[in-house]
Structure 1
């Protein structure tokens, strides 16, 4: 009996605990998280890692069995969002992972459970500013979700807008419960640089979203009263329409004014229409045409031959 115990202790000391157990250690610190409605499973290597380790992951919801996620990967994370046909905005999910080395596999190590719409971390919105006189227009664009969209998941999502003069963050002011994605900040000083930061607030998540990057813009002079520009535009259009109407109604008169017909003075008309009284003209008009003197001319052939014909032909022709 003592010999058998000694042999067992010798074997254990020589081969080590891994060979004796024949099973790999499981991954550690397995956790399931969500950012912008994705589903990410992460973990740390086993306490006694072996060479050439790869990992396989699975996930399940509260109403379904485990489904395969990533297979034989060497990374320490797996994005389960590609299983979007099986992921729903309001589902509860759990993940698990195991290590593999050759033909050996560890036991499955399960993660925490998360409720996607409550536990997801909402990313920061995208913010842009446009200066309009002594006011600044804030345009907000929601972060892109892995599945669905922010307004479909959180119907009552609001924005918390914080703004301050550049260099005076400690004196920041806030506008809360804003649902519009375009907001005009009116209570600003002209010719001053302001910075704006926005966060998203929802009823089903305990924390605010990630804050947006601080964006800065300078105001200009006092903005023009909106109705002044509207009146100016209306007057311009009205004058253009009036000019068109006048041109159509009085086109005949305008044509005569712009292109008048030429008229001769009365004394010129009388002079041109009066009969001529020149004595030479009267003599020439009343005289008969002179007799034309002329002499009769006859053309007689001289009888000499010409090129291309004979003398007989010329005589006959003559």
Structure 2
């Protein structure tokens, strides 16, 4: 079995071929290749081919890497339901351990940093955008103190190029009809109707097993539609897509939803049951009212009437403490006795005369 091995050496990478015998011995032209093979094998950096497929050893970036990393490839912006994500692939022939920095600009602003020193190959920019903006992203690779050149994406108009997700569809069976209820996909920012003022739904439906005979209803403005003229007790399937004026691409189609229609006899029977329940409830209430009328009338119109002036007495304001004090300060009744004062000298003179 032959293995291909990349052996780092200063500023260049040397390629050696190593042959393995069936007994596990390593046949190389010199001892250094054998040592390198052992190190790579034990460190987990060796990928060995099986069943005759060629194998390649992809080592991590050496610590003494010189030069500048290559630029990232396939840099592009994507959007689903009004988000915005910058994506890229590693540089050609890149070793592991690279990190990346991204920047974003709009048609009216300069580049600003977004994701810094990340190891992933994507950067979510949703919180940095306007729903009607035009944006361009760029990314560079970093290893230690070295940086690659910037690689720039194409410009991206979010509301015109975003991929609208599938709507949610529910079917309600009523007699020989089906009501289609449509819910818009959930946007990362705002809602479908706020971004697109002209939204239409295209509904395709067919009898189960007869998709080749499907019928379509286009340019529906409402979220609800009744499909009539259907066969009773038959299973029908529905699929819905959203179309807008600003975005030339239709939405992703909804999941196929199926429902069975009922018969008209079942609908009439259900109506009859509902009417019967309502009438029975009304009759029961009337019977209870007649039987309990005496108790109800006594409660509403009691025989013992309240005092005529009782409401007025309740509404009259109670006397304040000041008025009570003034009333209690009325003058008390005076008690007097007649008193006669006589001069004793005058009395004695009157008696001697």
* Structure 2 partner of 1:316: none
Larger radius of gyration: 1
* Structure 2 partner of 1:134: 176
Per-residue deviation, 1:166: 0.9
- SS of the aligned residue for 2:240 comes to strand
Per-residue deviation, 1:21: 8.2
Q: What's the TM-score once normalised by structure 2's chain length?
A: 0.60
Q: Deviations over 1:280-305 (max 9, x none)?
A: xxxxxxxxxxxxxxxxxxxxxxxxxx
Q: Deviations over 1:97-128 (max 9, x none)?
A: 11111111111111011111100010001112
1:46 to 2:46 alignment: no
Residue of 208, 224, 228 corresponding to 1:166: 208
Q: Deviations over 1:161-184 (max 9, x none)?
A: 111111111111111111221222
Residue of 1, 11, 16 corresponding to 1:15: 11
CA contact under 8 A between 1:36 and 1:123: conserved in structure 2?
yes
* Structure 2 partner of 1:224: 267
Per-residue deviation, 1:51: 3.2
* Structure 1 partner of 2:76: 31
Structure 2: unaligned runs, 5 residues or longer = 1-8, 14-60, 295-353
* Structure 1 partner of 2:279: 236
Partners in 2 of 1:235 and 1:50 — Cα distance? 77
Per-residue deviation, 1:224: 3.4
* Higher RCO (CA-CA < 8 Å; seq separation 6+): 1
1:103 to 2:148 alignment: no
- SS of the aligned residue for 2:154 comes to strand
Partners in 2 of 1:87 and 1:233 — Cα distance? 59
Moved over 6 A (4+): 17-21, 228-231
Higher alpha-carbon deviation: 112-121 or 229-238: 229-238
Q: Deviations over 1:123-160 (max 9, x none)?
A: 00111212212111211111111111101001111111
Q: Deviations over 1:168-224 (max 9, x none)?
A: 111111111112212221121111111111100100111210001101111111263
* Structure 1 partner of 2:239: 197
For this pair of structures, how many residues does the alignment match?
235
The correspondence of residues 181-196 of structure 1 with structure 2, limited to 5 A, is: 181-196=223-238
* Structure 1 partner of 2:187: 145
Partners in 2 of 1:90 and 1:204 — Cα distance? 11
* Structure 2 partner of 1:268: none
- SS of the aligned residue for 1:224 comes to helix
CA contact under 8 A between 2:174 and 2:267: conserved in structure 1?
no
Partners in 2 of 1:57 and 1:77 — Cα distance? 9
Q: What's the TM-score once normalised by structure 1's chain length?
A: 0.66
1:77 to 2:73 alignment: no
**What is the alpha-carbon root mean square deviation over aligned residues?**
3.2
Per-residue deviation, 1:233: 7.8
1:88 to 2:147 alignment: no
Q: Deviations over 1:236-283 (max 9, x none)?
A: 3996499479839x957xxxxxxxxxxxxxxxxxxxxxxxxxxxxxxx
Structure 1: unaligned runs, 5 residues or longer = 1-12, 253-318
Per-residue deviation, 1:22: 2.6
- SS of the aligned residue for 2:279 comes to helix
In structure 2, do the counterparts of structure 1 residues 21 and 242 end up closer, same or farther at CA, with 3 Å as the change threshold?
closer
Partners in 2 of 1:230 and 1:109 — Cα distance? 71
- SS of the aligned residue for 2:131 comes to coil
Partners in 2 of 1:243 and 1:45 — Cα distance? 82
Per-residue deviation, 1:37: 0.3
